[in-house]
Amino acid sequence: MAATLEMTYREALQKSLYEEMDLNADIFMMGEDIGRYEGTFKVTKGFFPKYGHRRVVDTPITEAGFTGMAIGAAMAGLRPVVEFMTMSFAILALDQIINHAAKVHYMTNGVVKCPIVIRGPGGAAKQLSAQHSHSLEGWFAHVPGLKVVAPATCEDAYGMLKSAIRDDNPVIFTENPGLYAMKGSIPDDQSFSVPIGKANILKEGKDISLIGYSRMTQVNLLAAELLEKDGIDAEVVDVRSLLPLDTETIYASVRKTHRSVVVYEDWRSGGFGAEIAARIAEDCFDHLDAPVGRVGGLNVPMPYARNLELQCIPDENDVVAAVRKLG
Amino acid sequence: MAATLEMTYREALQKSLYEEMDLNADIFMMGEDIGRYEGTFKVTKGFFPKYGHRRVVDTPITEAGFTGMAIGAAMAGLRPVVEFMTMSFAILALDQIINHAAKVHYMTNGVVKCPIVIRGPGGAAKQLSAQHSHSLEGWFAHVPGLKVVAPATCEDAYGMLKSAIRDDNPVIFTENPGLYAMKGSIPDDQSFSVPIGKANILKEGKDISLIGYSRMTQVNLLAAELLEKDGIDAEVVDVRSLLPLDTETIYASVRKTHRSVVVYEDWRSGGFGAEIAARIAEDCFDHLDAPVGRVGGLNVPMPYARNLELQCIPDENDVVAAVRKLG
Amino acid sequence: MAKSAVKKSTESPAELEQFYRDMLFIRHFEEKCNVVYRQGKAGGYMHVYIGMEALAVGWMNAIRKGDDYVITAYRDHAHALLLGTDPVKVMAEVMGRKAGTAGGKGGSMHIYDPDNGFYGGWGIVGGHIPLGAGLAFASKYRGDDKVTLNFMGDGAANQGVVFETLNMAGLWDLPCIFIIENNEFAMGTRLEYHAADPELWKRGLPFDIKSVRLDGMDVVQMKKDATEIVEEVRKTGKPYWVEVMTYRYSGHGAADNDRQLYRTKEEEQKAWERDPIGRLEKLLLDRNIMNREKMEAIDAELVDRVEKIYEEADASPFPDLEEVYDNIYSDMDPEKGH
Amino acid sequence: MAKSAVKKSTESPAELEQFYRDMLFIRHFEEKCNVVYRQGKAGGYMHVYIGMEALAVGWMNAIRKGDDYVITAYRDHAHALLLGTDPVKVMAEVMGRKAGTAGGKGGSMHIYDPDNGFYGGWGIVGGHIPLGAGLAFASKYRGDDKVTLNFMGDGAANQGVVFETLNMAGLWDLPCIFIIENNEFAMGTRLEYHAADPELWKRGLPFDIKSVRLDGMDVVQMKKDATEIVEEVRKTGKPYWVEVMTYRYSGHGAADNDRQLYRTKEEEQKAWERDPIGRLEKLLLDRNIMNREKMEAIDAELVDRVEKIYEEADASPFPDLEEVYDNIYSDMDPEKGH
Ligand SMILES: Cc1ncc(C[n+]2csc(CCOP(=O)(O)OP(=O)(O)O)c2C)c(N)n1
Ligand SMILES: Cc1ncc(C[n+]2csc(CCOP(=O)(O)OP(=O)(O)O)c2C)c(N)n1
Ligand SMILES: [Mg+2]
Ligand SMILES: [Mg+2]
């Protein structure tokens, strides 16, 4: 077992990007203010000085345009890593992502590949208001042709970004602004990577399965501690990959605990948690001692005032309350 | 009870549009080829000659731009009815719809209203391939601030379009290309309208609830006939309105039949049917004798070849099979 | 073509003093916003107008306030204040208070005041441009003679929807004035790095739209040029595309505290020589319209005024938690709870 | 500026005959597609190139076929055929057969053949334009000297993403030639009703991109102009914006059978006088390069060839049902079943 390195989620992403860019000269980065300005969330800090403007491309504020260009470059065999300043802005590039990147492999019946990674902070940061706080992973996970991942730990940020960059299909890689400064450890092993499509049990438990992804997995870990105090032994299932979705691991956990709550930051109604909950309810029907609980963001455009905003975003107490509700 | 008129779904939409435009001079229509060309699906046939280019505006092919202009006009008090040639093209205008139309009322804390209707054919027509066959209603129904309706009958097409146009909030009105030529009857009463937010039982039954919207409700009616032959008495619940969602009517049906299948044309994974199924499974848990079944479109970019395409779109046999699977 | 010829000023002393007070008030208001942000009493993204005051002052004095339409992006405090929005409400919104223009739901980026003709306050770069044209569309539809001022940044001028809108505005003759506040930077990206041709004023030409580049650091000239254009558009009902050269002395937003990543201290120093307030002060002194003492008195008065505005806003309560569900729809509640 | 000066032709008789055969082959192929569609053997949206043949023939003869990149929208049969794609595969795709370029999954709008440099075949108006620039971006990134031909319609030239792409192509010097196939209509909307200024060639100017308007009904001139531009772009590595005037005699798509909604029979008649094939025939006759008999012989030969292509395609099977799940991903299956 290799030694480990302590670093933040942000640094884990940077390490992954550095190592992949050094390995493969076809990889380049594209995005707004990622070069000279080092990125608004500083994920790309240091890359422009090292790789220059050829491989670290500062773009105009034209999300549809530069995303489409990256897709075309990928069709020609390059391996672009596109950063959205916030994933909310991907809304402007959805046609490029969904109608072009996601479909070209199928529409050419396998002749053209589109190895592109689209990454950036998804979900609410702090008081960015209604237009800058979207969680779009559920929309992407609805689209055949895309892969969608949402790592919750430093190790997965490091290992899954490598897999995403090496993947020959378009991969949506969503980071949560609340995770960037989180510390954790990753194996000191450049050959390490985490496959796309495998969920992960972060804490074993026998009483209930707390199922989530991205930052909500961290919230579930906190909730599990609170539940511990009430003598409830919760299992924390980190979904990690929304498309493909590892139902096997999820179902195994639910069939063991017979209870589950699905937790996601996106608007509760119509978020991807609904799909996960619907599948559990259908495929684990005979194993459920209680309905599949759901905790999602309030169905509200994100308000600016901090006290209102905090209400909208699920936290560990909301999870505990949902668990209690199941009785 | 007023007399009724026989007409197609398309004619019902036209009748509704004519009557509303005659009633209120602030209403105007905007879209690609809706005027001189009469609309690709001919829904706006006859309007240009009658109202002229002031109230029937032919636009360039710039979905984001003209949708945004309609939103601005609505903010100024006009009542635009925007047609998308196919709802698939709404993907190019999503930022305008979701970040602007849907949020302005909240971001101004109620000061600005946005009375706009966005309508057009949603779902697969016939061999339009991957880029022209989207069902987007699930995405829209995920967004607080929007209302989303999907009428399945001529009467609802007529009555719900009136309610949509009279609504002071942005309403997504999705029509299915397969419904335009369908014949039906509507009340011969210009004051008639169908409120947004109420589901409708189209056929009563005691054994199972078939829950769907738009064209899939017609598919469910056919499935109900087939099931009849096997002595299964299905209840057909026409959801009609996705946002707001009339869970009361849906739950009442499920609590009566104890069995349900949710049917939708959109990709199965992550479609709005998942939300409906998740809610039933959670809120009707103690009333279910079987898991909530789901029938959705294949998780495949729509292929061109007719034999492949037909495979992707749910039909009555798929529904019957799903019912049987529940045992 | 690019305008330059500066005409002799004919403004009255009173009007010049008003320009001075307006610019200085905005400057102090924005500086206070920066302090408030640093104190943690405002959050998220907040963008101030320091350095650009002459631009908004010139244009807002060229229209029929409250009647004509105005819309802009997230750098929106100045536009609202000049249109007559209660400064306490603006400050309260910046601080996320119930008394704010949007009850604390919008914040700095989303100030609105339709009663005074102000339609926001938008956060998606370029996204509000078609909305502005839609306001102008409504004017034309109704046959009134309102004019719409549709402001955007130099970075926003690259967004596709802007060109889509220009084409329709030209095609349908909409009384809309598109105004680029060219402060030479899009966040950390210099004009030369985001525009193929930095002369953004040319972009209206292919749509048969009158296009011009103006100086936005001379409030007197700005007001003159703006008045000419506004009156022409009111008469012709046709759109206008205007690039106005200005500069922001502050960071892109309150969270941008490393300006040296994209420009040097020397460059900023040089830019200060163009400071629109200093420039007007010189004019006022040269023409003996105002002396230093008077200026200092006005300055003190405005600093004090802004302080009072802040205190009143700061004394006002945060929104009640239940309000989170209000005004998503005009006629119904959303589903409640997580 | 708008080009006009027609230079004296220097094409060899052999080359001129090849132009003739190419244009005539496309014409007959497309007419057959219309028949196939009417017979119900093709469905969905299908758009033919009748009237526009000289445009594609001119450009495809100006590039390094198979090496340079070509991308266009849904009106894509001609481009593929001229690049060397097996006509049987194109016809089979139009008919939704397994033997098609995309195994029947794409249909008429989505023909692809990267081995011959053809990258589609796209259905979202304007959506492929940034992709084309991305192909050019790859050339520049790799330092090869490929040129990209990026075709679009006059209606597509209004889409915002086109302008976003022009700005980046100009900003980064991408070897991309943007070519507007201006056939005067966007479906049922006449140029004058969708463009503020019908001179679309001007739209490259604000991005510091060389821009020109050309005649697309004279195959000889088209080939000459195209060659000049392709060679210049190959040398300079800079983008070019080209508007080519042409006309479509057919309906917008095979489903458009009421052209009188947007143009008169007289107008169409007049347009036929510009028919690129008739025009070349006249030249061939005037120069005694070919006589009527020879022309009729070639015509008969090509009609026969197209018939054989159709028969071979029609004899080929439809895709197997299981194939519906193939090639969504390069390395995994989707979830199966409803
Ligand atoms: C669509 C979109 N992309 C990116 C952003 C992030 N962002 C906010 S302001 C800004 C720079 C805009 O510069 P400019 O248009 O020149 O306006 P300025 O801030 O200089 O007034 C960026 C990139 C955004 N808000 N919206
Ligand atoms: C984004 C989008 N909007 C609308 C359509 C429907 N549509 C297909 S072709 C077309 C007209 C395009 O005209 P033009 O660009 O001139 O190309 P042409 O067909 O004349 O070759 C329209 C409106 C579409 N496919 N994509
Ligand atoms: Mg700027
Ligand atoms: Mg055209």
Kindly state whether B68 is in contact with chain C, defined as any CB-CB distance less than 8 angstroms. Answer: yes
DSSP percent split of chain A into helix, strand, coil, nearest 5 = 40, 20, 40
Q: Indicate if A100 belongs to the active site.
A: no
Q: pLDDT tens, B274-296?
A: 999 999 999 999 999 999 999 99
Using a CB-CB cut-off of 8 Å, the residues of chain C touching B100 are 122, 124, 127-128, 131
CA-to-CA dists, residue D264 to B58, D137, D267, angstroms: 19, 43, 5
Per-residue pLDDT, averaged over D256-276, amounts to 95
Q: What is the DSSP letter of D322?
A: G
Q: pLDDT tens, C31-56?
A: 999 999 999 999 999 999 999 999 99
Tell me, what's the ipTM? Answer: 0.97
**How far does the centroid of ligand 4 lie from the alpha carbon of residue D189, in Å?**
9
Alpha-carbon distance of C38 to C191, in angstroms, equals: 28
Q: Which of A19, A38, A132, A275 is catalytic?
A: A132
CA-to-CA dists, residue D235 to B235, D64, D230, angstroms: 71, 14, 9
Element (DSSP H or E) covering residue A318: helix A316-325
**Residue in chain D nearest C170 by alpha carbon:** D196
Alpha-carbon distance of C328 to B271, in angstroms, equals: 23
Q: Indicate if A132 belongs to the active site.
A: yes
Per-residue pLDDT, averaged over D240-264, amounts to 95
**How far does the centroid of ligand 3 lie from the alpha carbon of residue A106, in Å?**
41
Give the mean pLDDT of chain C: 96
Alpha-carbon distance of D201 to D204, in angstroms, equals: 7
Which residues, 6+ apart, have CB-to-CB distance to C329 below 8 Å?
Answer: B105, B145, B147, B169
Share of chain B above pLDDT 90, in %: 99
Per-residue pLDDT, averaged over D253-267, amounts to 93
Per-residue pLDDT, averaged over B304-313, amounts to 97
Q: How many CB atoms sit inside 10 A of residue C184's CB? A: 16
Using a CB-CB cut-off of 8 Å, the residues of chain A touching D130 are 64-69, 71-72, 96
Q: Identity (one letter) of the amino acid at D274?
A: R
Strand partners, C179: C151, C242
- Across the interface, whether the CB atoms of B127 and D107 are under 8 A apart is answered yes
Helices (H) and strands (E) in chain D, counts: 11, 8
D150 lines ligand 2 (CB under 6 A): no
Ligand number nearest to the C-alpha of A61: 1
Pairing of strands A208-212, A260-267: parallel
Kindly state whether A132 is in contact with chain B, defined as any CB-CB distance less than 8 angstroms. Answer: no
Q: How many CB atoms sit inside 10 A of residue B89's CB? A: 24
Pairing of strands B260-267, B4-8: unpaired
Alpha-carbon distance of C91 to C306, in angstroms, equals: 9
Alpha-carbon distance of B121 to B85, in angstroms, equals: 7
B85 lines ligand 2 (CB under 6 A): yes
Q: Which of C160, C197, C207 has its CB closest to that of D196?
A: C207
Q: pLDDT tens, A67-106?
A: 999 999 999 999 999 999 999 999 999 999 999 999 999 9
Q: Which of B129, B297, B311 has its CB closest to that of D44?
A: B129
Sign, Cα dihedral of A17, A21, A24, A26: positive
- Across the interface, whether the CB atoms of B68 and C129 are under 8 A apart is answered yes
CA distance A58 to chain C (A): 8
Print pLDDT tens along chain C (338 aa).
Answer: 344 444 555 789 999 999 999 999 999 999 999 999 999 999 999 999 999 999 999 999 999 999 999 999 999 999 999 999 999 999 999 999 999 999 999 999 999 999 999 999 999 999 999 999 999 999 999 999 999 999 999 999 999 999 999 999 999 999 999 999 999 999 999 999 999 999 999 999 999 999 999 999 999 999 999 999 999 999 999 999 999 999 999 999 998 888 999 999 999 999 999 999 999 999 999 999 999 999 999 999 999 999 999 999 999 999 999 999 999 999 999 999 99
- Across the interface, whether the CB atoms of B275 and A272 are under 8 A apart is answered no
Q: Which of A72, A108, A113 has its CB closest to that of D132?
A: A72
**Beta carbons of B48 and B18 less than 8 angstroms apart:** no
Structure tokens at A195: 């496959």
Strand partners, C152: C180
**Complete edge-to-edge strand list for the sheet that includes strand B208-212:** B200-203, B234-238, B208-212, B260-267, B293-297
Integer-rounded Cα Rg, in Å, for chain D is 20
Per-residue pLDDT, averaged over B103-124, amounts to 97
Helix (H, G, I), strand (E, B) or coil at B23: helix
Smallest Cα–Cα separation from B217: which of B181, B179, B269?
B179
- Which of 32-91 (D) contact A at CB < 8 A? 69, 71
3-state secondary structure chain C: CECCCCCCCCCCHHHHHHHHHHHHHHHHHHHHHHHHHHCCCCCCCCCCCCCCHHHHHHHHCCCCCCCCEEEECCCCHHHHHHHCCCHHHHHHHHCCCCCCCCCCCCCCCCCCEHHHCEEEECCCCCCCHHHHHHHHHHHHHHCCCCCEEEEEECCHHHCHHHHHHHHHHHHHCCCEEEEEEECCEECCEEHHHHCCCCCHHHHHHHHCCEEEEEECCCHHHHHHHHHHHHHHHHHHCCCEEEEEECCCCCCCCCCCCCHHHCCCHHHHHHHHCCCHHHHHHHHHHHCCCCCHHHHHHHHHHHHHHHHHHHHHHHHCCCCCHHHHHCCCCCCCCCCCCC
Share of chain A above pLDDT 90, in %: 99
- Across the interface, whether the CB atoms of D131 and A72 are under 8 A apart is answered yes
Phi-psi category of residue C322: left, alpha or beta, with phi > 0 → left and psi -120 to 50 → alpha: alpha
Q: pLDDT tens, D106-140?
A: 999 999 999 999 999 999 999 999 999 999 999 99
Alpha-carbon distance of D74 to D58, in angstroms, equals: 19
- Which of 167-186 (A) contact D at CB < 8 A? 167-169
Kindly state whether C195 is in contact with chain D, defined as any CB-CB distance less than 8 angstroms. Answer: yes
Alpha-carbon distance of B323 to B209, in angstroms, equals: 10
The reported pTM is 0.98
Pocket of ligand 1 from Cβ distances under 6 Å? A 32, 61, 63, 85, 89, 92; C 47, 75, 123-125, 153-156, 181, 183, 185-187, 252
Alpha-carbon distance of D296 to B79, in angstroms, equals: 60
- In which residue ranges of chain A is pLDDT below 70? 1
Using a CB-CB cut-off of 8 Å, the residues of chain B touching C328 are 105-106, 144-145
Residue from C125, C150, C247 whose mutation best tests the ligand 1 pocket (most atoms within 8 A of CB): C125
Q: Select from D158, D187, D338 the residue whose CB has the most chain B CBs within 10 Å, as the one to mutate to test that interface.
A: D338
Nearest CA to ligand 2 atom 7: D125
**Beta carbons of D105 and B305 less than 8 angstroms apart:** yes
Nearest CA to ligand 1 atom 17: C153
CA-to-CA dists, residue C45 to C51, C74, D64, angstroms: 19, 9, 51
Is residue D9 very low, low, confident or very high in pLDDT (cuts 50, 70, 90)? low
Alpha-carbon distance of A119 to C232, in angstroms, equals: 47
Please report how many Cα atoms fall inside a 13 Å half-sphere around the Cα of residue A305, on the Cβ side: 26
Q: According to the model, what pLDDT value does residue C1 have? A: 39
Q: pLDDT tens, B70-93?
A: 999 999 999 999 999 999 999 999
